[in-house]
Amino acid sequence: MNTSKWYKIFGISLIVISAAVYFIHYLVFHDIHHIFIYFLGDIAFVPIEVLMVTLILHQLLTYMEKRNMLEKLNMVIGVFFSEIGTKFLCFLSDFDPDLDAVRNELVVTNDWNDEDFLYTKKRLKNYNYSVDIRNIDLVKLRTLLGENRNILVRLLENPTLLEHESFTELLRAVFHLLEELVARGDLEDLPDTDLDHISGDIGRVYGLLVDEWLDYMQHLKNNYPYLFSLSMRTNPFDTSASPVVK
């Protein structure tokens, strides 16, 4: 029996039961007047019941479901930064010629609040994320991404990421960069036009990566102080960062 047919039978059964109960009430009390009074009273309460169930209860369940989904998403994002994201960010930032202009703004501290994260993201919105492509070690970059390809594939296959468009976009950009690097057998003597093309791909990844890193740091700051402490002490933008607690 398909679901649609089962719903129809169930609905008709409820109507029949209700009619039977009203009929029994009439047989016992012979008072059609009160039957209509209660019937109209029940109908009058239906809009309020709909309000309570569909708006209040439904919104509460939706909020709880969304909160659980976000928690799972942040766990997945945490795996990304633990396995490759932070190392990747360290690598790219080392070749950012303009990083000193914004470095201090990326040194997240324990005193930051949501307004500080929001201000930093707005401040960096117009920042030109770029790398010195002629000094960057493309072979090392290809190796870094290639060694973590399986992790990236598993992350991209995770169905929960469908709810996080910006992080999915980051993974797509990383995969595209890896494909560009793998497609070139020799990365030593590329023409300037090709280097500029790769530089654009790296800049796209760099910008998306910083944005996601800030969001992840904010999540840790608000929910997991012990994880935030380690992430703060291994900040890729802090030249004095050290995992050793001093």
The pLDDT assigned to 63 comes to: 67
Res 48 pLDDT > 60:
yes
Between the alpha carbon of residue 218 and those of residues 26, 165, 214, 223, 233, the distances in Å are 65, 18, 6, 9, 15
Residue 196: pLDDT band with limits 50, 70, 90 = very high
pTM above 0.85, yes or no: no
Residue 201: pLDDT band with limits 50, 70, 90 = very high
Residue type, 223: N
**pLDDT higher at 50 or 12:** 12
Q: Provide the mean pLDDT of the chain.
A: 86
Distance (Å, rounded) from C-alpha 166 to C-alpha 10? 43
The pLDDT assigned to 240 comes to: 83
Mean pLDDT for 121-137 is 91
Model pLDDT for residues 95-109, shown as the tens digit of each residue: 999 999 999 999 999
Res 166 pLDDT > 60:
yes
Mean pLDDT for 204-217 is 94
The pLDDT assigned to 193 comes to: 94
Nearest to 152 by CA among 173, 177, 175, 169: 175
Distance (Å, rounded) from C-alpha 92 to C-alpha 49? 57
Distance (Å, rounded) from C-alpha 124 to C-alpha 116? 12
The pLDDT assigned to 1 comes to: 54
